[in-house]
Amino acid sequence: MTFFEGFLSTPEALDATSDRSFVAAMLRFEAALVRAQARAGLISEEAAQSIVGTCKVELFDVARIVRDSGRAGSAAIPLVKALKETVGLFNPAAVADTHRGSTSQDVIDTAAALVTRPVLDLVVADTRRILDALLDLAGRHADDPVLARTLGQPGSVTSFGWKCAQWAAPLARGLLRLRAAAAPALAVQLGGAVGTQAQLGGKGPEIVALMAADLGLAAPDAPWHTQRDVWVALGCEIGILVGSLGKIATDLALMGQYEVRELAEPSEPGRGGSSAMPHKRNPVGAMVALAAAKRAPQRVAGLLAAMPQEHERALGAWQAELAEWPQLLLSAHGAARALASAVPGLQVDTARMRANLDTLRAELPAAAADEWFDPALARHAGDLARAQVARLRAALAGLQAPGGA
Amino acid sequence: MTFFEGFLSTPEALDATSDRSFVAAMLRFEAALVRAQARAGLISEEAAQSIVGTCKVELFDVARIVRDSGRAGSAAIPLVKALKETVGLFNPAAVADTHRGSTSQDVIDTAAALVTRPVLDLVVADTRRILDALLDLAGRHADDPVLARTLGQPGSVTSFGWKCAQWAAPLARGLLRLRAAAAPALAVQLGGAVGTQAQLGGKGPEIVALMAADLGLAAPDAPWHTQRDVWVALGCEIGILVGSLGKIATDLALMGQYEVRELAEPSEPGRGGSSAMPHKRNPVGAMVALAAAKRAPQRVAGLLAAMPQEHERALGAWQAELAEWPQLLLSAHGAARALASAVPGLQVDTARMRANLDTLRAELPAAAADEWFDPALARHAGDLARAQVARLRAALAGLQAPGGA
Amino acid sequence: MTFFEGFLSTPEALDATSDRSFVAAMLRFEAALVRAQARAGLISEEAAQSIVGTCKVELFDVARIVRDSGRAGSAAIPLVKALKETVGLFNPAAVADTHRGSTSQDVIDTAAALVTRPVLDLVVADTRRILDALLDLAGRHADDPVLARTLGQPGSVTSFGWKCAQWAAPLARGLLRLRAAAAPALAVQLGGAVGTQAQLGGKGPEIVALMAADLGLAAPDAPWHTQRDVWVALGCEIGILVGSLGKIATDLALMGQYEVRELAEPSEPGRGGSSAMPHKRNPVGAMVALAAAKRAPQRVAGLLAAMPQEHERALGAWQAELAEWPQLLLSAHGAARALASAVPGLQVDTARMRANLDTLRAELPAAAADEWFDPALARHAGDLARAQVARLRAALAGLQAPGGA
Amino acid sequence: MTFFEGFLSTPEALDATSDRSFVAAMLRFEAALVRAQARAGLISEEAAQSIVGTCKVELFDVARIVRDSGRAGSAAIPLVKALKETVGLFNPAAVADTHRGSTSQDVIDTAAALVTRPVLDLVVADTRRILDALLDLAGRHADDPVLARTLGQPGSVTSFGWKCAQWAAPLARGLLRLRAAAAPALAVQLGGAVGTQAQLGGKGPEIVALMAADLGLAAPDAPWHTQRDVWVALGCEIGILVGSLGKIATDLALMGQYEVRELAEPSEPGRGGSSAMPHKRNPVGAMVALAAAKRAPQRVAGLLAAMPQEHERALGAWQAELAEWPQLLLSAHGAARALASAVPGLQVDTARMRANLDTLRAELPAAAADEWFDPALARHAGDLARAQVARLRAALAGLQAPGGA
């Protein structure tokens, strides 16, 4: 039954956040740690090389590490135990230098950052695809009139291009804010037992800097075991992006209703069928994004609720945050991919848009029809659309993925 | 990284909600459907037997069904397709009778109920274990004085037995309410394409009743495709139970602090160690329950937020609910099992309780010490404790698991 | 800006939960307490009468009590202080008998129950109005065909009466569950300083029983200072009812769209206008219910998140619960009243329902049109509708308001 | 009962978000609108002056506007109606120029920004007070040893100064992020009926710029009626700040427990008393901040859940967002003020910190005591503390309130 989580996500995001990926990321931490310690002169190069050579996920029984983590009350304890055993097989002298000066939360938080980065790259890439398609549509349909609807009722006339440009703007802003939030949040964690780096011989900051360069992560000012604001701020941005995708999905679903039929998601075999009604085609892109938009707010609330973490390591709150986090990532990529599969090939029926408008005009007194529902009103929206497309294209020039080089 | 979900749950709950378990449950629905249709005279006995014979999870490629469900926008479509293909291999004439009169949501909602039942049984069994242990402790320590603490400060004297009896009461009430909520919620779903049972030849209610008897589920008054109140009410009860477990875990954690040391979770090898500090013993039972208590409120909010489902089948909200549901189950059993492993062997230090009280008494003016912190005040609590234990034992007599016969 | 809370609620609910109403309820607690203590022989009749005579809200400066409560960290402290001062003016000897054996949380929790009851009565009365209107509509339109819509697309045919009967069922169940949840939740709180009733001379249960009879509340088995399950279970039921109202509002809004126009909320002067477009009529009933359905899940999450309350009185969690609670009540009555003003006078356009169906039929291949969109399919739904109306009318017979006599 | 909201907030925040303040802010919008339109040549200077002269809150019946807003389904409709009536009394010719080209949401969203700014200033000022106090404490106690606690158990030694510096860092980052989020979020809203600025004769952007300069708000790129990301991003930052305050409050409460007694909130008459136990002193600062930290996550979830707003104006979601918003502000200032009253006068007992450490050392084997609990370990933390204080002081230099000049 847990497959409904996957159903609303993507194979890539599931793979990037898999148990194996996480164990591999924990091993990357352990390798980077000893490399940095060797460069800082805390351990020998030889010991570091032995340990690094062992930090290969193929050498470990991932399922067993996962299984034992529950009993140990920590995902890192069985990994470190297995790593030390394996190091011991090749170089018993290096066992004492393994995971030295570090604590479970160091490994786990850093691994979480490492695992998050590629998912964010996926989210960004798919959001960018939606955004590019929206900007194209905004330009192409800048002056095409469509009913503007407020509180569910026709309000006046806008243009479909302006709708697209308005859908696009929060995505563009969202990508920029996401990049800004990710930069400090995808960071090394290294505080040692109680966040004082006491076991690193005064070289804590140096080792953090070396590890950050090695792993392509940020070097934070200080350990952040129970200071989660930067991390949660990234989670909030992911949640906001899902909300912006949900807004688009809402409108796609409404405009795709049979009685409105101004838009339709692209069709392809095996996509959006019904088990009972073979003739039906369901807006599955919107569906997945809408499901994400229902769920992501609760995940963000979970992250925020877990912020008051006790003392130097929390009892329960940190663990709750760890469990909420990947589900937010999975939802986010599910939503982005779903709309990336729906927006670029969107079927836009401008004739129907015009027909819906004309039907209303015909029923209204002429004065009201002309004041509020004159198709020519679309040109105001068209001007706004063109200006916004230019502005957004300029803002997006040079945007990189948040974890990008 | 998704293994943090499992880390906070149990192997049994993970197994009961696994993809394989869910596909098996969907097949149980399909088998029960045709058995009922045969008894109602809608299809032949022979066709039913062919289909029933095929409804074996071993015959299906679970991973592929899961994989294809994302693309199809429904978990049931690939299952039904594979089922029809397999039926066709043995009895082509029975293909048309497969899944007839039913829709994806019928299969999925019923399977969700089938999969939920054993997890509730697990939750109930472990909660019962906690409850029995608490009632024993309540009796044994009915008159043992301990500081009562309000707003984090010593308020007066209570007894440890009364604390235990008060921890117990919400669990006992919770089990009773959970049973009441589960009875109608674990129900057959059978509405056909749009919830009118139109393809069942007027025999909808009869077939639902037969299927309910066959599957051990309730026969609801009507299809509940977009009427989720009964189902969500069960989710709320699960959330409340987690909250009650969280209250106990909060107190265990506080009373187990080094400076308080009135309680300790039982110790055993491999349980609650630290990767950096081998001497440490962490309260991992409380930790798991506290993590659940941080997360379950958001799951319940997710279920409630998904209630306004459009028309005859929702776009996004139902799918969101499906994805939130198992995680609530997993958390709930994680919490119940965690405390079931901590409470029965709880190490109770009544001497330390008394010492903490005496330390305070020594520092207070004698009048205040005698008015508010006289150990003899514990007897008031003792009387309440004994009465409550008797009342709860009576209320619990005969309590069955919610899915019980 | 806080008036948006009121905007989405009702004057009656705002009045019932006003500061004045709450202070009055606290005074009812104090009066009931001393009456019960006098009957139990703990204080003199004369002292009780003096105190009871002073427990009149007109005698107190409500604004000042509210203002001082922030500084005191408790809403009860300034009230009790003012009460004792006022008692002292008339009968100094009775001051010591005022609020005796009781603590702030006793007053506040009991007052919360007293204040909640009339709001629930309002919610129930308006929900009942919606329900009665829906049952009428269900009977009247049992066989009127309307498009059934799944995932936002036409799925087949149902009847409008069946839609109404399906909207009605969760309301009927909700009222029954609400009554069941309210009965134990609207309870006296009386535990004294630390929940042991130590200052009540062994007569705690007797006094609770007397107060319960006096105040028309339930007498709980035990103080529930930090055992909030029964109270939160009531909150969950309120949240579920809002969700069920939100489902109806969702469908009303969708069916009321200009392009669908199968339904419209009743119109009246000053209702649902637009400041910019005088011709517009907005579905304000649905709007308020939809807003409630967005908010109530978060309020329920707030209640659940506040359940793990420390020891004998929580630091923060209880206070958070107190602040979340009235907003849930306000939303709930807002939603119920909004739909009670929309559903009874609902404008139902069965001709348009038929026209929407016919438009689709004309576009489909004849075979599909006849298999899935034959208007005659509505009779299946009609049969279900009639049966359900009868069942619900039977279930509702004799239903009283949850706080009813 | 709604006074529990105020109880957890402050008089200043309540006043800033009062109905009167909001109506006054709506009038500031209307005045700025006509001033800008006059400068842009859309209306006469004389008309503008008439209208501006009428935009005084004293001239309006705030209670009536609030009351009528519920019935109208919009807070702006009765205000605009009353404004036009009042303008008409003085200058009938100016009535037609009142609120021209604008819609309800323009007034309300802009007023919400205007009302938010001073509350953010309050939040920032009080957070700054906490921060300054923490930096002082961090410097003063940089090397004072205190038990570091992980998962509720002693883990090793840290310094109290380092704890303070770690509490401070999220506040400093939070203020910087809050300022960055507030700059674009506190923005003019001006889209007209359907967000196309069609009634502004092509001068929409110019008028927005003029109004922004007039009101001291940002001029957004485009109307944001249903693009709420920038606004919600501000809400998220407020939620994160509350979480960071909640972390501090959690630790204060834990360290202030009677058995730990390393810290105490400052005492003063009338602060933190108990109605039942006069000798008690409750940590009311921590209490208020903890209550906020329980509630704010749900408010943020409410904002995020309301993001998918339909078409050009939402039905329900926008209204829900409006109602959630002020409560987040109220909680945030409540939490900031509560800790600003607790942290600067915090009573720090370094002797007790040392005694708690020594007690543990005495019970451990000497080797463990020396490896993990040597008081000299505090110097590692001290070095980190000093560096962090310097870094934070540098980062804070020149920080202004988000709405500051």
Between CA A196 and CA A103 the distance in angstroms is 11
Question: What's the pLDDT at D278?
Answer: 54
Residue C8 in any domain: the answer is no
Q: What is the CATH number for A92?
A: 1.10.275.10
Say whether both C97 and C129 belong to one domain. no
Shortest distance between the Cα of D177 and any Cα of chain B, in A, equals 26
Mean pLDDT throughout B337-341? 97
pLDDT at B345 over 50: yes
Between CA B167 and CA B164 the distance in angstroms is 5
Q: Which among B202, B222, B246 is the nearest to C308, CB-wise?
A: B246
pLDDT at A343 over 80: yes
Mean pLDDT throughout B108-119? 98
Say whether both A26 and A175 belong to one domain. no
Q: Which among B11, B199, B316 is the nearest to A290, CB-wise?
A: B316
ipTM value = 0.96
Q: Residue D211 belongs to what domain range? A: 18-102+188-220
Residue D373 in any domain: the answer is yes
Residue B3 in any domain: the answer is no
Question: What's the pLDDT at B75?
Answer: 82
User: In C, which residues are within 8 Å of B381 by CB distance?
Assistant: 196, 198
Residue A11 in any domain: the answer is no
For C399, the token pair is 């239903």
Statement: the pTM of the whole predicted model exceeds 0.80 = yes
Mean pLDDT throughout A353-369? 95
Question: What's the pLDDT at C74?
Answer: 81
Question: What's the pLDDT at B168?
Answer: 98
Question: What's the pLDDT at B404?
Answer: 44
Report whether A113 contacts A220 (CB < 8 A).
no
If phi over 0 gives left and psi between -120 and 50 gives alpha, with beta otherwise, what is residue B310?
Answer: beta
Say whether both D265 and D338 belong to one domain. yes
pLDDT at A276 over 90: no
Between CA A77 and CA A82 the distance in angstroms is 9
Beta-carbon contacts of C61 under 8 Å, excluding residues fewer than 6 positions away, are: C82
pLDDT digits (tens, 9 = 90+) for D92-126: 999 999 999 999 999 999 999 999 999 999 999 99
Q: What is the CATH number for A372?
A: 1.20.200.10
Between CA D178 and CA D227 the distance in angstroms is 20
Q: Which amino acid is at A261?
A: R
pLDDT digits (tens, 9 = 90+) for C244-290: 999 999 999 999 999 999 999 998 765 655 555 555 678 999 999 99
Report whether D341 contacts D286 (CB < 8 A).
no
pLDDT digits (tens, 9 = 90+) for A26-78: 999 999 999 999 999 999 999 999 999 999 999 999 999 988 887 777 889 99
Q: How confident is the model at residue B256 (pLDDT cuts 50, 70, 90)?
A: very high
The number of beta carbons lying within 10 Å of the beta carbon of residue D269 is 6
Q: How confident is the model at residue D398 (pLDDT cuts 50, 70, 90)?
A: confident
Say whether both C383 and C393 belong to one domain. yes
Helix H segments across C224-349?
A: 229-255, 284-305, 317-340
Question: What's the pLDDT at C323?
Answer: 95
pLDDT digits (tens, 9 = 90+) for D214-248: 999 999 999 999 999 999 999 999 999 999 999 99
Neighbours of chain A (3+ CB pairs under 8 A): B, C, D
Question: What's the pLDDT at D11?
Answer: 93
Q: With CA atoms as reference, report the closest residue to C187 among C169, C150, C212.
A: C212
Residue C11 in any domain: the answer is no
% residues pLDDT > 70 (chain B): 95
User: For chain C, which ranges sit under pLDDT 50?
Assistant: 401-405
Question: What's the pLDDT at A52?
Answer: 98
Say whether both D97 and D107 belong to one domain. no
Across the interface, whether the CB atoms of D240 and A233 are under 8 A apart is answered yes
Say whether both B36 and B164 belong to one domain. no
Q: Which among B14, B69, B286 is the nearest to A315, CB-wise?
A: B286
Find the catalytic residue in D149, D313, D352, D379.
Answer: D313
Report whether A328 contacts A239 (CB < 8 A).
yes
Question: What's the pLDDT at C42?
Answer: 97
| Bridge partner list, D158 | D146
Say whether both A113 and A37 belong to one domain. no
pLDDT digits (tens, 9 = 90+) for A190-203: 999 999 999 999 99
pLDDT at A278 over 60: no
Neighbours of chain D (3+ CB pairs under 8 A): A, B, C
Residue D347 in any domain: the answer is yes
Shortest distance between the Cα of B77 and any Cα of chain D, in A, equals 29
Q: How many domains does chain C have?
A: 2
Mean pLDDT throughout D57-86? 90
pLDDT at A273 over 60: no
Q: Which long-range contacts (CB under 8 A, 24 or more apart) does A219-223 make?
A: A219/A187, A219/A188, A220/A184, A220/A187, A220/A188, A220/A189, A221/D169, A221/D388, A221/D391, A222/A191, A222/D165, A222/D166, A222/D169, A222/D384, A222/D388, A223/A106, A223/A189, A223/A190, A223/A191, A223/A192, A223/A195, A223/A196, A223/A197
Domain boundary pick from B220, B243, B261: B220
Question: What's the pLDDT at A402?
Answer: 47
Mean pLDDT throughout B360-382? 95
Say whether both B386 and B240 belong to one domain. yes
Neighbours of chain C (3+ CB pairs under 8 A): A, B, D
Lowest mean pLDDT among A234-248, C287-301, D221-235, D264-278: D264-278
% residues pLDDT > 90 (chain B): 89
How far is CA D3 from each of CA C173, C194, C310, D209, D327, rounded to the nearest angstrom? 32, 25, 23, 40, 12
Question: What's the pLDDT at C273?
Answer: 57
pLDDT at A175 over 50: yes
pLDDT at B46 over 60: yes
How far is CA D101 from each of CA C120, D36, D200, D207, D315, rounded to the nearest angstrom? 43, 12, 6, 11, 21
Q: With CA atoms as reference, report the closest residue to A356 among C257, D194, C152.
A: C257
Which sign does the torsion angle of CA C77, C82, C83, C88 carry?
positive
Question: What's the pLDDT at B134?
Answer: 98
pLDDT at A5 over 90: no
Say whether both C35 and C126 belong to one domain. no
Domain boundary pick from C220, C236, C263: C220
Question: What's the pLDDT at C275?
Answer: 55
pLDDT at D159 over 80: yes
Across the interface, whether the CB atoms of A250 and D166 are under 8 A apart is answered no
Domain boundary pick from B179, B204, B220: B220
Across the interface, whether the CB atoms of A287 and C253 are under 8 A apart is answered no
Size of interface C-D (CB pairs under 8 A): 251
Mean pLDDT throughout A260-283? 73
pLDDT digits (tens, 9 = 90+) for A63-119: 999 888 877 778 899 999 999 999 999 999 999 999 999 999 999 999 999 999 999
Say whether both C192 and C178 belong to one domain. no
pLDDT digits (tens, 9 = 90+) for B184-197: 999 999 999 999 99
Closest residue of chain D to C4, computed from CA coordinates:
D323
User: In B, which residues are within 8 Å of A341 by CB distance?
Assistant: none
Q: What is the mean pLDDT of chain A?
A: 94
Find the catalytic residue in B313, B352, B379, B393.
Answer: B313
Say whether both D239 and D377 belong to one domain. yes
Mean pLDDT throughout B257-275? 80
Beta-carbon contacts of B38 under 8 Å, excluding residues fewer than 6 positions away, are: B44, B45, B47, B48
Mean pLDDT throughout B68-72? 79
Question: What's the pLDDT at D171?
Answer: 98
Between CA B307 and CA D31 the distance in angstroms is 43
Question: What's the pLDDT at C403?
Answer: 46
Q: Which among A14, A277, A282 is the nearest to B73, CB-wise?
A: A282
pLDDT at D87 over 70: yes
Residue A1 in any domain: the answer is no
Positions of C marked catalytic? 274, 313
Say whether both D27 and D151 belong to one domain. no
pLDDT at A174 over 50: yes
Question: What's the pLDDT at A72?
Answer: 73
Question: What's the pLDDT at D403?
Answer: 46
Residue D386 designated active-site: no
Residue C195 in any domain: the answer is yes
Report whether C198 contacts B377 (CB < 8 A).
yes
Question: What's the pLDDT at C335?
Answer: 98
Query: Apex CA D341: angle with CA D337 and CA D347, to 5°?
Result: 150
For D350, the token pair is 């370094």
Mean pLDDT throughout D55-70? 92
Question: What's the pLDDT at C5?
Answer: 83
Across the interface, whether the CB atoms of A151 and C372 are under 8 A apart is answered no
Q: How confident is the model at residue D66 (pLDDT cuts 50, 70, 90)?
A: confident
Decide which of D173 and A3 is more confident.
D173
Query: Apex CA B396: angle with CA B392 and CA B402, to 5°?
Result: 140
Between CA C359 and CA C331 the distance in angstroms is 39
